[in-house]
Amino acid sequence: MPIRAAHFGGKLFALGESDLPYAIKLTSNGDIITLGRDESFGEPLMSMTAHPKVDKETGEAFAFRPSISRPFLTYFRINADGIKQPEVPIFSMAEASLVHDFAITKNYAIFPDTQVVINPKEILKGKQPAVVDAAKVPRLGIIPRNAEDESGMMWIEVPGLNLLHATNAWEEDGGDTVVVAAPNLLPVENALERMDLVHSSMERIEINLKAKTVARRPVSGRSLDFAVINPAYVGKKTKYLYAADGGPISCKGLVKVDLSLSTANSDDCVVASRLYGSGCYGGEPFFVAREPDNLAAEEDNGYLVTYVHNENTKESKFLVMDAKSPNLEIIASVKLPQRVPYGFHGLFVREDDLNKLQ
């Protein structure tokens, strides 16, 4: 089942990590039609992540394929024309683990190796194949983003760090440090059976590539997930992220986090927030730039859009909020004919890009 849409290589795709991408298109009256499974991304039984990363400057997309057999992780690049480049199998991934998302910088791709491992033999026992290995030490893998093989892959152990989503990453100190902003699942034991008890601790994670050390600090005491940034800043230093508050699935509100405060010993880097109201819950927001072609525009000069469902009245709305305002002011609200399920990821595509779809 698709859980996300992505736009790269002149095409629009519906993505689900259990399958390859499906090309889709919008008709003139707004209907979505499926053009078909795009097998240029792999063989018939293969799949692709639902979280590819798109570099707005180069037009490239970066993706991976998890597997329950060796290699357990395969990384690849898709050029600006939408053509998949040679795969890079990561044989140093020792076992199948839950790799749902990753991050890129200008020069690197960063992968989590979590304590949630996949063991298909458990199915024969009538159990779930995904289990938590309490004895395993989580790792982060850093590989050159244009790698042709895994020889440049560096693995660093990071005890207690289990990442499901990765919000963004960038380089500092002349490329000697990689910074990742991502929510850490606490405790990871609840991630499989009791997601309602999971606390997503948004962290700033600094990786010293020379010393192979990691420094971490939470940026808020709130449970924050489904975080997004201005898409133009993928792989670049980001000041702001926007996250769903109180999840992990149905979220009571939205917050704006100033990551620059995370280096100033601030206990809470939330600088703006909005609650949806009693009985109202939303999902992942999406940032839409107010002036996407203005290179001098401020990073937060735009709108936040999301779906909100009122569980008391059973009504759903599409909200548009001002990302620069201190209370994320609602500037438009559109009633929807039906609800959008919680937990799905969003995408905004400009009209001129829709008109250019192949």
| Tens digits of residue pLDDT in 166-216 | 999 999 999 999 999 999 999 999 888 888 789 999 999 999 999 999 999
Provide the pLDDT for residue 2.
58
CA distances from 114 to 83, 127, 184 (A): 30, 20, 10
Provide the pLDDT for residue 5.
94
- What is the length of the chain? 358
Lowest mean pLDDT among 28-37, 96-105, 123-132, 283-292: 123-132
Provide the pLDDT for residue 49.
96
Provide the pLDDT for residue 104.
99
**pLDDT tens-digit profile of 94-119?**
999 999 999 999 999 999 999 999 98
- Give the mean pLDDT of 2-20: 91
**pLDDT tens-digit profile of 305-353?**
999 999 999 999 999 999 999 999 999 999 999 998 888 888 999 988 8
The yes-or-no verdict on residue 263 having pLDDT over 80 is no
- Give the mean pLDDT of 141-156: 98
Q: Centre a 10 Å sphere on the Cβ of residue 217 and count the other Cβ atoms it contains.
A: 14
Paired residues of 306 in beta bridges:
319
Lowest mean pLDDT among 82-91, 105-114, 145-154, 254-263: 254-263
The yes-or-no verdict on residue 289 having pLDDT over 90 is yes
Provide the pLDDT for residue 282.
93
List Cβ neighbours of 355 (8 Å cut-off, separation of 6 or more).
none
3-state secondary structure of 131: strand
Q: Is 199 annotated as a binding residue?
A: no
Provide the pLDDT for residue 248.
67
- Pairwise CA distance, residues 260 & 214, whole Å: 18
Q: Is 100 annotated as a binding residue?
A: yes
Please, what is the end-to-end C-alpha distance for the chain in angstroms?
Answer: 23
pTM assigned to the model: 0.95
Lowest mean pLDDT among 91-95, 104-108, 229-233, 293-297: 293-297
Q: Is 165 annotated as a binding residue?
A: yes
